[in-house]
Chain A
């Protein structure tokens, strides 16, 4: 069955993620309001790049913040790029604001300065593969807790990481033709689906045992 991935579409470069995910053969659902989260069962969620202040604010006002936090805590796989990374971070350096706050990382906003500091590079993403990375007024990760896996570093700064069902990148995989990060995220989605299936089977066995 085709996997269904929700893409937060309140502001920013959500269309670029949809285009990329469709190349990977999944169905995308734009999330603009609360009912979009429940209209179809989602297998994963993408928080795209944009302005984190705007996205965080709109998520709050459109009553998306709490339901999305609950879905992530229940184990829904989520990919956050750039602003999406900031939305997921438990702490933002030099900023009291926390949005979803589900991932044990400290994010630093505009870590490379203004637009003149934006850059593109090629660096290793977990597994040894080198991929193009585009940083636009990007953050990086200042610190991570012990159970966070570091997926990529550029100039000594953490720019991609994973904690359980959450993957974040400071760069924009959706702005290049390289699908590595999206496929990495989709393997998490597959694992979560498999786990759910096993759980169902287990419950079914238990139920039949009781009979």
Chain B
């Protein structure tokens, strides 16, 4: 791929060890930046509200995204529906820093994802397993995140996805080279990407955790499981004291191995997002776009 793709992967490298926060207003974006977010995701409704409101969920109003771009100096990301390349063209026109082709919004195409190689702006995509992750990378994604289950405050699915992706990477590393072709076939991905995982023991792009992260402990858990940073969606602005919680999660991501500090960070955070358990939800967003 071209030089632009390298530059886009490089931006994701700069976000590592950081927290990307969902925000719906310029005011929230400022709170997020002030708390130490390394980027913000501009959207009209956070996943928990999308979930309770139901109906079709689409790309945000470009005007609202622009007010957030004007309010902060850190990178601004925004979501498009899976397969909706026209929404992506619009976001590229307003010079968004990263597009999230996201299962949180209603999918626009139930077969094809966006051909992300045709864009100059970078894309991040969700994945439940290694096959999904490498298929998105093959389409041009320059960053991957776990799908988790957005808007639930339940971290179980993000854990499952992160563990699975890393287990599959370890399996590939322990495979004989002449068996890699069959893995490419099984996972429905190009052989070159399998070979890259075999040689490096990691995804060729940065991998963040997302979906259901609500506490500093959740963030530390995901980092210890191998995430290179975290997205926090509903977890912050659905909680009792968003600024303080955001702050604590940022520090937890930096010092994810320091249990003593994590204990201090977990104190007195006010009410956490109520959350719903995965068994209680009817709509599994993670099943969208595989």
Q: How far is the CB of B145 from chain A (nearest CB, A)?
A: 17
At the interface with chain A, which of B32-40, B109-117, B214-222?
B32-40
Q: Taking the complex as formed, is B57 at the interface, i.e. its CB lies under 8 A from any CB of chain A?
A: no
Q: Taking the complex as formed, is A110 at the interface, i.e. its CB lies under 8 A from any CB of chain B?
A: yes
Say which residue of B17, B69, B98 sits within 8 Å of A50 (CB atoms): B17
At the interface with chain A, which of B2-10, B130-138, B268-276?
B2-10
Contact flags B33-70 to A (C-beta < 8 A → 1, else 0): 10011110000000000000000000000000000010
- In the docked arrangement, what's the CA distance between A61 and B35, Å? 11
- In the docked arrangement, what's the CA distance between A207 and B192, Å? 66
Residues of chain B lying within 8 A (CB to CB) of residue A50: 14-18, 38
At the interface with chain A, which of B232-240, B250-258, B279-287?
B250-258
Q: With A14-B17, A137-B11 in contact, is A54–B38 under 8 Å at CB?
A: yes
- In the docked arrangement, what's the CA distance between A113 and B69, Å? 11
Q: With A51-B18, A58-B36, A115-B98 in contact, is A11–B11 under 8 Å at CB?
A: no
* Most chain A CB neighbours (cut-off 10 Å) among B3, B8, B96, B254: B254
- In the docked arrangement, what's the CA distance between A14 and B228, Å? 12
- In the docked arrangement, what's the CA distance between A11 and B97, Å? 19
Interface footprint category on A: 35 or more
Residues of chain B lying within 8 A (CB to CB) of residue A137: 11, 14, 75, 97
Whether B16 lies near A51 (C-beta < 8 A) is no
* Most chain A CB neighbours (cut-off 10 Å) among B3, B38, B122: B38
Q: How far is the CB of B82 from chain A (nearest CB, A)?
A: 22
Whether A136 lies near B254 (C-beta < 8 A) is no
Whether A116 lies near B120 (C-beta < 8 A) is yes
Say which residue of A54, A83, A119 sits within 8 Å of B36 (CB atoms): A54
Q: Taking the complex as formed, is B13 at the interface, i.e. its CB lies under 8 A from any CB of chain A?
A: yes
Whether B7 lies near A16 (C-beta < 8 A) is no
Q: Taking the complex as formed, is A195 at the interface, i.e. its CB lies under 8 A from any CB of chain B?
A: no
Residues of chain B lying within 8 A (CB to CB) of residue A101: none
Contact flags A50-91 to B (C-beta < 8 A → 1, else 0): 110110011001100000000000000000001100000000
Residues of chain B lying within 8 A (CB to CB) of residue A33: 255, 258, 261
Whether B7 lies near A13 (C-beta < 8 A) is no
Q: Which residue of B lies closest to A120 (CB)?
A: B3
What would be 18 A-B contacts, judged by CB atoms less than 8 Å apart?
A12-B14, A12-B16, A12-B17, A33-B261, A50-B17, A51-B18, A51-B74, A53-B74, A54-B38, A62-B254, A62-B255, A95-B73, A115-B11, A115-B121, A116-B120, A118-B8, A136-B14, A137-B97
A residues adjacent to B (C-beta < 8 A): 9-16, 32-33, 49-51, 53-54, 57-58, 61-62, 82-83, 95, 109-110, 113-116, 118-120, 134, 136-137, 172, 175
* Given A32-B258, A50-B16: 15 more A-B contacts, CB < 8 Å: A11-B253, A12-B17, A50-B18, A51-B74, A54-B74, A114-B97, A115-B95, A115-B97, A115-B121, A118-B8, A118-B10, A120-B7, A134-B10, A137-B75, A172-B10
